[in-house]
Amino acid sequence: MSLNTTGIVIATFWGTVLAVILTRYARRPARTFTIIAAAATALSLITPLDAFGASPSTKLTLAGGHLIVATIMTTILRHGLSHPQA
């Protein structure tokens, strides 16, 4: 498993844990999750944008891939919060 894949698995795990906790305790879990996920995504962009020795195009490519994965995972988890199973 590559380092990038490991990071995705770890972020998905903690995102799911957060979604479960918010489902139980938040009045508006989907909205709260989206705000927290957006803040966490913004903070996590520090790593690809601060890649030492990388060209600007490489940094933008890394950040773009990062945003694509974050958007997909946030959408999937948020959908589950908006439409809970009976």
- Identify the band that residue 77 occupies on the pLDDT scale cut at 50, 70 and 90: confident
Crossing angle between the packed helical segments 29-44 and 56-82, to the nearest 10 degrees: 170
Asked if 78 and 30 count as a contact pair (C-beta separation under 8 A), the reply is yes
Angle subtended at Cα 70 by Cα 65 and Cα 72, rounded to the nearest 5 degrees: 100
- Identify the band that residue 5 occupies on the pLDDT scale cut at 50, 70 and 90: confident
pLDDT digits (tens, 9 = 90+) for 31-62: 999 999 999 999 988 888 888 888 999 999 98
